[in-house]
Amino acid sequence: MSNLPTSLPAGTKVVLGFSGGLDTSYCVKYLTDEKGYEVHSVIVNTGGFTAAELEQIEAHAYKLGVKSHTTVDAVKTYYDSIIRFLIYGNVLKNNTYPLSVSAERLSQALHIAEHTRKLGAKAVVHGSTGAGNDQVRFDMVFHIMIPGVEIITPIRDMKLSREEEISYLKLKGVEMNFDKAAYSINKGLWGTSVGGKETLQSKGMLPEEAWPTQVTKSAAEEIKLGFEKGELRRVNDQHFAHPSEAIQYVQSVAGAFGIGRDIHVGDTIIGIKGRVGFEAAAPMVILKAHHALEKHVLTKWQLSWKDQLAQFYGNWLHEGQILDPVMRDIEAFLEHSQEQVTGDVFVQLMPYRFTVIGIESPNDLMSSKFGKYGEMNSGWTGEDVRGFSKIFGNQTAIYHSIKADQS
């Protein structure tokens, strides 16, 4: 075990992003007992904890020896600052993953940085190892938001193994569940990640018992999603004060069908490929419903440019670049594009799958008064189309004519 590379004196006030798990529990005990720091823990709830779980985590933090513990309810701000733009852009990384964990880590990092600034702490601590994406996301946000504040990462810097952490905490008399679960679960408002032995290799699907939400529904069920300017506000005629509440409701309905289960294979920030299982019933249903509505109410080029900008937005967000000003520019475009995205989308839910049945919207561009595709039209004549086709292909015809003369 190597020494922690920091020269901050005993008594230094530090803020720790705390989850209550093994890594952050070690951080509290080590920094308090061995370094003599004044540790202030903060947990940022992005939709993954119940009130009872948050109370247990707070009690655990104080038992470990923190000076103060703060719980930040970030569910609504997480939606307002990040998730709504993922919905506006129909963002699925590699056409698969709704950025469940990567998006919430950025929300957590921003709130931890703000708490560090508020307390006037000299250092900020996170429990990341040196093997994943989260270390980069947290580090970058902290460097930008709280420059000059030292970043301490005991697990990464001391290259600690799980066994070394457990031995140390047991030596200190810490009582907690040290049994490593067969599957690691990370739950949030925008989906739940699931990691296990099957995701550590290129082939293998998670077994039924690994999924946190079990399938309890078998009969098909129809659900109606009501969007107002791109935001989900109604479900089955029930209005919600905030879209985050609508998301949670859709999750409670669709999750029981086992919808949204998949494994994502992606490129990490640090240059390796990785696999992770996830279940995201609400995100998958909402994104597909929203996209279906957009295809009815937006123009061809609105949809085309949205796709291009949204793909970049999702990739850049995944890589931790939430504070790049280009993200605000893209968000402005995405928000403006939602002016006409109002209406109801009808979705049929079935075990492990769903189907978008159709939409109803006052802004629907697929109106019979303008014609019926493949059958009849009312906005032009056959002669109009004959002339249009000739003009529309004129430059390409000239190109091929010249090319033929030269051969």
Place of tokens 């900008």: 309
CB 47 within 8 A of CB 243: no
Q: What percent of the chain is helix, strand and coil (3-state, nearest 5)? A: 45, 20, 35
- Tell me the whole-structure pTM to 2 decimals: 0.93
Q: Is the pLDDT of residue 7 over 90?
A: no
Measured distance between the N- and C-terminal CA atoms of the chain, rounded to whole angstroms: 74
Q: Which two tokens stand for residue 275?
A: 């696999």
Q: Is residue 373 predicted with pLDDT exceeding 60?
A: no
Over 80: is that where the pLDDT of 219 sits?
A: yes
- Please check whether residue 280 is in contact with residue 230, taking contact to mean a CB–CB distance below 8 angstroms: no
The rounded distance, in Å, linking the Cα atoms of 336 and 343 is 17
Instruction: Please report the pLDDT score of residue 90 as a whole number.
Output: 98
Position 243 pLDDT exceeds 70: yes
pLDDT of 168-209, one tens digit each? 999 999 999 998 878 999 999 999 999 999 999 999 999 999
Does pLDDT of 372 surpass 70?
A: no
For the segment 52-69, the average pLDDT, to the nearest whole number, is 97
Residue 367's pLDDT is: 73
Are the C-beta atoms of 316 and 192 separated by less than 8 Å? no
Contact 47, 78 (CB under 8 A): yes
Q: In angstroms, what is the C-alpha Rg of the chain?
A: 26
**What is the chain's mean pLDDT, rounded?**
94
Q: Give the model confidence (pLDDT) of 90-123 as tens digits.
A: 999 999 999 999 999 999 999 999 999 999 999 9
Containing 125, the helix (H) or strand (E) segment is strand 123-125
Query: Among residues of the chain, what percentage have pLDDT more than 90?
Result: 89
- In DSSP notation, 109-165 reads HHHHHHHHHHHT-SEEE----SSSSHHHHHHHHHHHHSTTSEEE-HHHHTT--HHHH
